[in-house]
Chains A and B, each alone.
Chain A
Amino acid sequence: MEKNLKVSELFNTQKENFKLRLFTQEHTLQSEIINNEVSRPGLVLCGFTKLFAYDRTLIFGETEIVYLENLTEEELKNNIEIMCSFDIPCMVISKGLEPPKMLIEVANRCGHPILGTTLGTQKFHRLLASYLEQYFAPQTFIHGTLADVYGVGLLYTGPSGIGKSECVLDLVERGHRLVCDDVVQIIRPRENILVGMMNPKLSYHMEIRGLGIIDICRLFGIRAVRAQKSIEMVVQLTRWQDDLEFERTGLSDRTTKILDVELPLVQLPLVPGKNITVISEVIAMNYLLKQGGYHTAKEFNRRLLEEMDQKHYIDGLSE
């Protein structure tokens, strides 16, 4: 879903953080920022508008302000009128500088907000860019349960009623932490990073068949929950089917994609009496081993091959 950021929201929520003030009239705050791009006005100030990315938030630093101050009145008016004829979402003057009066006048008339910050240009640029990146981060909702097992974010998926909640309940009992049950909101704040978040409407409630709704935070305390967690792996629970092929060696690493980020995938067949909790812990620990450079299945196979004295084959394996 597309969502835009009203400048009034930015101004009101980040006033303290970004040390903001407003130069233009209140009504200009209705303007909307439509993407996460931040840039400097550059040559537009000279009246050169080819390739002007006007849909970005523009930051005016000392260079821009000093340049404008050095223009003749006529040039200044001309260039500002040209720039403001574009639909600029928001302008910010950094370093506590004052914009030329003419710029404020024209911006008021065109409905473009001008904010000021006392922060340095680079610092403000970084802060604003990361704020916008987070705000405009792609997001999705996934039917599943997210838990933190030994610091590894495991996202359980699978059909309704297969036992995702029960599995995580068991994990919580063993000292691991619940992030969200049932409807997991996932965002991609940066390339290749997925973060799952607790849903404020559900908080840490879950449904256990036969019991009803329970509150994990009340039952197990604050140590049993966490508000958000990066997702490292997907554990897909499936009903046991005789004809379905499951991974037997762990040599081939299966993956799945969420929001275009590739994640390792473990498909677990369920049979009554199977202890998914311990397997979950092993999945997490195995992941940590792999992160540390130790791939158990490959290592085991390497030794096996060594035993069989097939040295040439090994060289082919370890690229």
Chain B
Amino acid sequence: MQLEKKIKVVNRLGLHARPAALLVQTTNRFNSEITIRKDDMEINAKSIMGIMMLAAGYGSTLVIRVSGNDADTAMKAVQELFVRKFDEDDEGEE
């Protein structure tokens, strides 16, 4: 199964180290291949360095692509993280 969804970064600080770590912890739980694209760059969503390299700031749009037998649940889990703002409040700590 292959899924593709557009997601907006809505936490103030963007995908910095902490959300990136949270993201890879999530993606690594699944067998599916998961990639994230920003502009013309596509990276493996299971690698933290790749995610941080995107430097996806607040408001940027990402394309998440998931393919594999657990694609459905994987996509839901990833989406939820973004919606939850990676558990960061809007003021932003650190």
A181 within 8 A of B: yes
Say yes or no: A199 contacts B53, CB within 8 Å. Answer: yes
CB distance from A167 to the nearest CB of B (A): 15
Between A183, A201, A206, the greatest number of chain B beta carbons within 10 A of the residue's beta carbon is seen for A183
Say yes or no: A143 contacts B28, CB within 8 Å. Answer: no
Say yes or no: B40 contacts A143, CB within 8 Å. Answer: no
User: Which residue of chain B is the closest to A200 with respect to CB atoms?
Assistant: B53
For B42, give its contact among A141, A201, A207, A213 (CB under 8 Å): A141
Say yes or no: B50 contacts A201, CB within 8 Å. Answer: no
B residues 38-74 touching A (CB-CB < 8 Å): 40-44, 46-50, 52-53, 55
* Complex contacts, A141 vs chain B, CB 8 Å: 41-43
A205/B49 contact (C-beta < 8 A), A1-B40, A161-B28 known: yes
CB distance from A305 to the nearest CB of B (A): 44
Question: Which range holds the interface residue count of chain A?
Answer: 10 to 19
Contact with A along B19-45 (1 / 0, CB 8 A): 000000000100000000000111110
A160 within 8 A of B: yes
* Complex contacts, B48 vs chain A, CB 8 Å: 207, 213
A residues 116-144 touching B (CB-CB < 8 Å): 141, 143
Say yes or no: A183 contacts B40, CB within 8 Å. Answer: no
A residues lining the B interface (CB < 8 Å): 1, 141, 143, 159-161, 181-183, 199, 201-202, 205-207, 213
B residues lining the A interface (CB < 8 Å): 17, 28, 40-44, 46-50, 52-53, 55
- 21 CB < 8 A contacts A-B: A141-B41, A143-B44, A143-B47, A143-B50, A160-B28, A181-B49, A182-B44, A182-B47, A182-B49, A182-B50, A182-B53, A183-B41, A183-B50, A201-B53, A202-B49, A202-B52, A202-B53, A206-B49, A207-B49, A213-B17, A213-B49
- If A181-B49, A202-B49, A207-B49 are given as contacts, then 20 extra A-B residue pairs at C-beta distance below 8 Å, sorted by A number, are A1-B40, A141-B41, A141-B42, A141-B43, A143-B50, A159-B46, A160-B47, A161-B28, A161-B46, A182-B43, A182-B53, A183-B43, A183-B44, A199-B53, A201-B52, A201-B53, A202-B52, A202-B53, A207-B48, A213-B49
